[in-house]
Chains A and B, each alone.
Chain A
């Protein structure tokens, strides 16, 4: 289960983390170590989930703020998975709150970066609800198991399976169209 301690198996960029091993933060390391190594990757994942870089950065900061209250996690517990759980839950709450109260955006989210790289996938992700987006990112991109995502999202295993199935079904035609 060693890779569960990582936030993701994708190497980070901009020198924050040089290697895959660098992402696996031993729980005995101080919080600053985890902050330096995991923050960039956490922001990237949350940006895909909430679809807004600024909000993702705020949520990642909030996640570490929470971490100051409980750090260090219990011995043997993966720091990355814990931070991901808190970050994703905060992200889902934020999107729900936004929806529930009908918040109007202060400005249009600047998604030029996403539209430049892969407009099809970006738009396709936008058609999914936030939990399904989170489930897809966590399983397909980060390799978390269904059981782990079940705990992270606080839903049943069948619920996660259903979300993944629905998400893939929704993305498949869009991605296949893009390949043609």
Chain B
């Protein structure tokens, strides 16, 4: 059924895709008042600027590619094909280490000293284990992590005297493919601040929502009810973002399975010529979960990392 649905969806998406106009729409907009005219005019100028830059950059490259020169000379070489020991292999198409360090320097103070750079999954290059995998960062995102060393002066809140400057690190995280800045994190050893425990209720299997998710004693680690807000993030600090759970306005019933969701998950269709659908799989120390919201709707959360999770007791 899914295959048939995908076929239909593919045809309709294709029709839409083919209908995308080749010409810019913005130029055809007729301003209807002064405000709109000014806005469109400003956009046009920006656009013209961008196109000039693109033309200059591409033009320069093209002149090399189309000259008699035996080999085009890219301005920056491709990234490393081997990553440091212990890290996941980096895709060889990312930006080079030299460019990553150059870009990262823009995000640290001028007296910072470059220490090292490594590429790989965000979760793997998160050296100090202090950066969560939430927000714009994703555990599996391929990134460059560029470390700098510097001295930091830490001042407690409330106007108390600052501590003496102490050594610390700043790690700048960049998208490995685009070089875009993702986040910067500074770390200087200090007393950790404990976060308050979320008020989580452990429920029994007689809860009707357990049946809704197919939860049984055999396939489930624990059944929880978490309050709205940041409880999910606190309980599962290394899980991906699940906006539906984070933004829930009421309590969320949560089934933490021992492995895959027992109801099966719809996966991408097989490649042409392949007879099998890709088998579902889980990352190490990750499980599927089922969330039931206050309005009765249900959502399967796939491949949720249990790193940092301690099952609460009754």
Contact = CB atoms under 8 A, between A and B. Distances in A.
Question: Are both chains from one complex?
Answer: yes
Interface of A: 3, 10, 13-14, 30-32, 35, 40, 43-45, 47-48, 53-54, 56-58, 61-62, 64-66, 68-74, 77, 82, 85-86, 89-90, 93, 96, 106-107, 109-110, 113-114, 116-118, 121-122, 129, 136-137, 139-141, 143-147, 149-151, 154-162, 164-166, 168, 171-172, 175, 179
A85 B304 CA distance: 24
B47 interface: yes
B44 to A, nearest CB: 10
A96 to B, nearest CB: 7
B140 A150 contact: yes
Residue among B16, B39, B271 with the highest chain A CB neighbour number at 10 A? B16
B266 A156 contact: no
B134 to A, nearest CB: 13
Contacts of A139: 268-269
Contact of A68 (B2, B47, B75, B81): B75
B175 A141 contact: no
Residue among A68, A71, A96, A116 with the highest chain B CB neighbour number at 10 A? A68
Contacts of A32: 58, 61-62, 65-66
Contact of A113 (B19, B138, B140): B19
A58 to B, nearest CB: 6
Contact of B8 (A3, A10, A64, A175): A175
A156 B81 CA distance: 22
30 contacts: A10-B17, A30-B66, A32-B58, A54-B47, A68-B60, A69-B75, A70-B74, A71-B74, A72-B74, A74-B78, A77-B92, A85-B177, A89-B175, A90-B180, A93-B180, A106-B39, A113-B20, A117-B19, A129-B243, A140-B269, A141-B10, A141-B13, A141-B14, A147-B278, A150-B140, A154-B138, A154-B141, A161-B267, A161-B280, A172-B5
A78 to B, nearest CB: 9
B283 A53 contact: no
Given A30-B72, A89-B178, A166 B299 contact: yes
Interface stretch (B48-56, B186-194, B199-207, B209-217): B48-56
Nearest to B1: A172
Nearest to A109: B25
B18 interface: yes
Nearest to B301: A162
Given A64-B54, A70-B78, A164 B267 contact: yes
Interface string B144-184: 00000000000000000000000000000001011110000
B93 A168 contact: no
Contacts of B9: 121, 136, 140, 168, 171, 175
B281 interface: yes
Contacts of A71: 61, 72, 74
A71 B54 CA distance: 15
A140 B6 contact: yes
B65 A31 contact: yes
Nearest to B303: A158
B193 to A, nearest CB: 26
B112 interface: no
B14 A146 contact: no
A27 to B, nearest CB: 10
Contacts of A93: 180
B294 interface: no
B302 A162 contact: yes
A139 B5 CA distance: 13
Given A53-B21, A82-B93, A89-B175, A155 B61 contact: no
A118 B12 contact: yes
B303 A156 contact: yes
Given A30-B62, A156-B286, 15 more contacts: A3-B271, A3-B272, A61-B54, A64-B58, A66-B179, A68-B58, A74-B92, A89-B175, A90-B180, A110-B25, A116-B19, A117-B15, A117-B19, A154-B140, A161-B267
Smallest CB-CB A-B distances: 8 pairs: A158-B303, A158-B302, A154-B141, A30-B65, A162-B302, A146-B268, A74-B92, A106-B39
Nearest to B51: A61
Contact of B20 (A53, A64, A72, A137): A53
B87 to A, nearest CB: 15
Contact of B91 (A57, A58, A72, A151): A151
Contacts of B91: 151
B300 A165 contact: yes
A107 B20 contact: no
Contacts of A74: 78, 81, 92-93
